[in-house]
Structures are given as C-alpha cells and as structure tokens.
Structure 1
Amino acid sequence: MDINGWLETIPPLAVYLLVAGVIGIESLGIPLPGEIVLIGAALLAAKHTGVSPLLVGACASAGAIVGDSIGYAIGHRFGEPLFDKLGRKFPKHFGPNHVDTAKRAFDRWGMWAVFVGRFIALLRIFAGPLAGALKMPYWKFLIANALGGIAWAGGTTAVVYYLGMVAEKWLGKFSWIGLVAAVVVGITSALIMKRRAGKHQPAETADVSG
C-alpha cells in the first residue's frame, strides 16, 4: 500500500474540520482523542499534503475555545449534579476519582487550572464543564481558556510539524511509522494520567476515613 499516495488524497478541508470538530467535542467534556488528531494533522502538514500547519493550529485553537465555552455553559446551567449523573453512566471517564482530581486542581490553581488543564488529558475534558459548575466568572475562564487553547494548539502543531519535517528525510516512504508513534505516545500519556488519578484518590479517601 502506498501510504504517501493515500495521505495525499485526503482533502485539507476535511482535515481542518476533523481537527476543529474532535477537539471541540472533547472540550465539551466528551472523551475523544483530540491530541492524537492534532498530532496526526500536524504530521500530515509536514508531509506536504497541501495541509497548512497554520490552519491546523487555528482550527485546533478555535475548536478548543468554542468547545470549552459551550462546556462551561452546560456546567453552569446544570451544576455539579451533572457530574454525578455522568459518573453513574460513564464511570470510566467521569468516575468520582477523576472528578475529585479535577476539583482539587481548580481549588488549588483557580483559573490557572483552565490554562494548564489544556495540556493535561484529564483536565482538558473537565475544564469547561467543571469551571461552569463551580461558578468561575466567565471572563476569567475565557481569558485562561483562550490563552491555553492557543498555546496548546499552536505549540503542539509547531513542535510536531517541525519534528516531522526533520524526520521526513529519515523516514522517507515509511512515514507511517511517525503516525503510529504519535498514536502510541498519545494513548500512553492518557493511560498514565488515568493511573495517577486512580492512585491519588484512594490515598486521600483513606486519610479522611482514618
């Protein structure tokens, strides 16, 4: 199979819409592989497939900002009981361990949790809805959300794009190795965050019960 030829058949518009859509939906609070999609799009741009890295970064930023803002509105409207309902239906993604970890981050860092959360898989999903549920002033949320979204999307796109350009002469026709590596890195980081969240909560529960 000619991987290079296949990649070149993907319309750039479809890539931009996919990036904005997946990242936007993830920012609503629905667990989707936004970071993996962004990395894949940046690698496509590095492959000279007609995909612009600037537009990839812009679409990712827009998806992050708009999605988080909608998530904020949902959280503000339905409050913390929303997470209780989601936890019962989707315990793997919205279980008490995950929600409590996100709450502790907000209690400790405030609006910085929104900015930093864009770079952390767990907080990236919870930032918008939880900020709304905790009644964080929207202007504070919007500033942190916009800065975090632009820094995360722009930074990730730039780093992956330039690494892809450098690696291009080494990978040649085996460029699919880069895509596979990106997927593995994204999945590994997500699993590490979930394990850390699971480890923190039992210890704190034990302290409270004791």
Structure 2
Amino acid sequence: MPVWLTQLEPLVHEYGLPGLFVDVLLEALGMPLPGETLIIVAAGLAALGQLSITGVALTAFFAAVVGDNIGYLIGRKLGRPLIVRHGSRWGITHERLAAAEDIIQKRGPIIVAFARFFVLLRQLNGIAAGTAGMHWLRFLIANMIGAALWVGLWTTIAYHFGKDVTFLPLIWHHLALVAMVVVPFLLAGSVASALFVWMKAR
C-alpha cells in the first residue's frame, strides 16, 4: 500500500467524518491540506463498508461550501492588505491572491464553479471572490454548483473503484490530468447548454 494512503487512512479512521469536514473546510480557507485526497480516501473506505458514502459526500460538500463562504466573508470584511500580511503564514501570498482575484474578476461565476478542480483556486476561491467584491448570492450559487461537481466526481470514482486498492493511488497521481480533461468538457457542455436554451427561448 502506498505511503500516502497508509498515512491518511488512519486519519480518517481516527477522526471520521468530523475530521474530513475540518480538513476540507480549512483547505478552502487557503491552508495547504489534502482535502481532495482525503475525500478520495474516505470514499474508498466507504466502498469497503467502513464509512457511509452519503455521509462522506454530504460532509465534503457542506465543508467546502462553508469553508469558501467563511473565506468570502474574511476577504470582504478584512480586505486584501490584512489578509496578505497575516495569511502568508499559511501560504496566502500577495502574488497567489492577486492571481486568483484576477481570474475571478475576468470570468466570475464560471470560474468559481470550476475553481475546485485547480489547486490555487480551490484554496483561495472564497477569499479572492470576497476581496474582488463579487456579489455574495452569485458567489454562493456558483460555489454550491462547483462543490457538488467536485465532490460528486471524486466520491463517485473512488466509491465505484475503491475496492481495488491499486486504483486509489492511480486516481491520486492523476488528479491534475483528470481535472484538465474533465473540467474543459464540463465547462464546454455547460456553455453549450446555456446557449442552446437561450437560442431556443429567442
């Protein structure tokens, strides 16, 4: 069994769903924690009957949404200078925050919805949207859609293939590659669907 799995599996066993919730929430606040990987491990354990897959999915979803909304509130209320000054301890540098803000300002809700599939945006999504002044309701809706897609993808894959212990490392080692393939298709499909509905309405 891979080293990373032997280290994370006891963490899920010891703290269960509350531990998963805290990990995903803190990752959404910019901390360098393995939220995505822990979801995969938890869903894999659910496939073995050690956890409830419904519990894993709901826990990860609410943790991601709550974490990003706390981040949004921090960004909106405290402002960029204070965040950069104190957030550097957890890796929230001026450059990283500026890059995330720039992307969100240019693409708005679409980027928020798919931000979770990319490491930088997943960790700074809420904070960047708050400091950029994005409307909260637009952020909330896009954020919930993104959380549902993100959690749904990894829990479904890990749950269906989790009984094969050799498959989980394969998922983990190819997270970026899978995201690069899946996300553009999801994005293109969403845009195409929206254009089709709009043209049909016209």
Q: TM-score range by the shorter chain?
A: 0.7 to 0.9
Could you say what secondary structure the match of 1:118 adopts?
helix
Contact 2:39 2:155 in 1 (8 A): yes
Could you say what secondary structure the match of 1:148 adopts?
helix
Contact 2:161 2:167 in 1 (8 A): no
The offset of 1:87, in angstroms, is: 6.2
> Which string of whole-angstrom CA distances, capped at 9 and with x for unpartnered residues, describes residues 25-48 of structure 1?
111222211001101101101112
Contact 1:58 1:154 in 2 (8 A): no
- Tell me the equivalent position of 2:146: 148
- Tell me the equivalent position of 1:94: 92
TM-score normalised per structure 1? 0.71
Inter-CA distance 126–54: structure 2 relative to 1 (3 Å threshold)? same
Contact 1:87 1:96 in 2 (8 A): no
The offset of 1:185, in angstroms, is: 4.5
TM-score normalised per structure 2? 0.73
Is 2:17 aligned against 1:16? yes
Task: Supply the RMSD in Å over aligned alpha carbons.
Answer: 2.9
The offset of 1:116, in angstroms, is: 1.0
Number of positions where the alignment pairs a residue of Structure 1 with one of Structure 2:
172
Alignment match of 2:110 (pick from 105, 109, 112): 112
Inter-CA distance 82–184: structure 2 relative to 1 (3 Å threshold)? farther
What are the residue-to-residue correspondences of 1:193-208 with 2, within 5 Å? Answer: none
Is 2:158 aligned against 1:160? yes
Identity of aligned residues (%): 33
Inter-CA distance 182–15: structure 2 relative to 1 (3 Å threshold)? farther
Could you say what secondary structure the match of 1:107 adopts?
helix
Could you say what secondary structure the match of 2:31 adopts?
coil
2: distance between equivalents of 1:31 and 1:153?
18
Could you say what secondary structure the match of 1:61 adopts?
helix
1: distance between equivalents of 2:138 and 2:130?
11
Inter-CA distance 86–185: structure 2 relative to 1 (3 Å threshold)? farther
Inter-CA distance 88–64: structure 2 relative to 1 (3 Å threshold)? closer
1: distance between equivalents of 2:119 and 2:140?
19
Contact 1:29 1:128 in 2 (8 A): no
Mark the runs of 5 or more structure 2 residues left unpaired by the alignment.
181-202
The offset of 1:98, in angstroms, is: 2.1
Contact 1:45 1:161 in 2 (8 A): yes
Structure whose alpha-carbon radius of gyration is higher: 1
The offset of 1:150, in angstroms, is: 1.4
1: distance between equivalents of 2:168 and 2:22?
20
Could you say what secondary structure the match of 2:117 adopts?
coil
Mark the runs of 5 or more structure 1 residues left unpaired by the alignment.
194-210
> Which string of whole-angstrom CA distances, capped at 9 and with x for unpartnered residues, describes residues 88-138 of structure 1?
545xx3234422321221122112221111111110111111111111111
1: distance between equivalents of 2:36 and 2:23?
9
Inter-CA distance 88–148: structure 2 relative to 1 (3 Å threshold)? closer
Runs of 4+ in 1 over 6 A off after TM superposition: none
Could you say what secondary structure the match of 1:31 adopts?
coil
Match for 1:157: what amino acid?
T
Match for 1:47: what amino acid?
L
